[in-house]
Amino acid sequence: MPGDQRTLRVCALYPDLMNIYADRGNMLLLERRCQWRGIGFALTAASIGDEVDPDAHDLFYLGGGQDRDQQLCAEDLYEVKRAPLHAAAARGAVVLGICGGIQLLGDHYELGTERVPGIGLVDLVTRRAIDGSRLIGNVAIEVELPGLDGPRVLAGFENHGGRTHLGAAERPLGRVLKGHGNDGRSGFEGVRRDNVIGTYLHGPLLPKNAWFADYLLATALGIDPASLPPLDDTLEDAAHASARRAAGV
């Protein structure tokens, strides 16, 4: 694949409001891994009130935010961007939601008696714990993704007050090896439906798991991950190993 003939087009949703977990590091890593391979990288920001073209981007990214900011974004996401994101997902674009992002990809988030709407790209509901407790700590999960040779480990950090429950037909992103996961009980973490992926792992996620960044990059471009030219990942592998050790895996 000649690198100069392809460009990864990324749309970051609400980067001014949903960016409290070093999420800029995720975009920076994607940009650098494209650059090192001679692949173009185009980043577009879409905030409150901005229309989104479902055909103009290969990957849509939604990070996490404070409850107040997340509620502001939820209304706009539902009213303005829901239909375009459904259209983008239907044509195979990657949609990645992290922390607050996974909550907004589902049906709704219950905050006591208040219900914050999601966009329904996946079948899940999130409810804030009645006692206000949070699921916090280093976490590692085992995932199996199409096009990869066997299971892989994702490592990161979780900090969420919501308990996310998947619908009966929905499948998780992975199985919890260490940590809490979606609800602290099910043993599952995240969600994956085709190219729509949600997870609570941050810290940020992609610099700790460069292999997953490459998986997303390749999937968004519609190519086999194995076809990406290899890089010298000495530092990236060390970061991944450190995140795994922190989680006890």
| Dihedral sign of CA atoms 235, 142, 34, 102 in order | negative
3-state SS assignment for residue 189: strand
The Cα–Cα gap between 75 and 122 comes to 17
The Cα–Cα gap between 127 and 150 comes to 33
- Residue-wise pLDDT for 215-233, tens only, equals 999 999 999 999 999 999 9
CA 153 to chain centroid: 15
Q: What angle do CA 17, 196, 149 make, to 5 degrees?
A: 125
CB atoms within 10 A of CB 156: 28
3-state SS assignment for residue 218: helix
- Residue-wise pLDDT for 29-52, tens only, equals 999 999 999 999 999 999 999 999
Please compute Rg for the chain using Cα positions: 17
pLDDT band at 203 (very low <50, low <70, confident <90, very high): confident
> pLDDT at position 3, please?
42
Can you say whether residue 179 is alpha, beta or left, with left for phi > 0 and alpha for psi between -120 and 50 degrees? left
Mean pLDDT score, 56-84: 90
Is the separation of the CB atoms in 140 and 249 below 8 Å?
yes
Give the residue numbers marked as catalytic.
99, 202
Of the listed ranges 2-6, 75-79, 190-194, 241-245, the least confidently predicted one is: 2-6
The CATH superfamily holding the domain 3-247 is: Class I glutamine amidotransferase (GATase) domain (3.40.50.880)
Burial of 120 (0-12, 13-18, 19+ CB in 10 A): middle
Q: What pTM does this model have?
A: 0.94
- Residue-wise pLDDT for 112-144, tens only, equals 888 999 999 999 999 999 888 999 999 999 999
> pLDDT at position 70, please?
80
Q: Is the predicted pLDDT of residue 176 greater than 70, yes or no?
A: yes
Is the separation of the CB atoms in 154 and 143 below 8 Å?
yes
The answer for residues whose C-beta is within 8 angstroms of residue 189's C-beta and 6 or more apart is 139, 141, 172, 173, 174, 175, 176, 179, 181, 182, 199, 200, 201
- CA distances to 6, 49, 74, 171 from 80, rounded to whole Å, are 29, 7, 10, 27
Kindly report whether the peptide bond that precedes residue 204 is cis, defined as omega within 30 degrees of 0. Answer: yes
Backbone angles phi, psi at 235, to 5 degrees: -70, -40
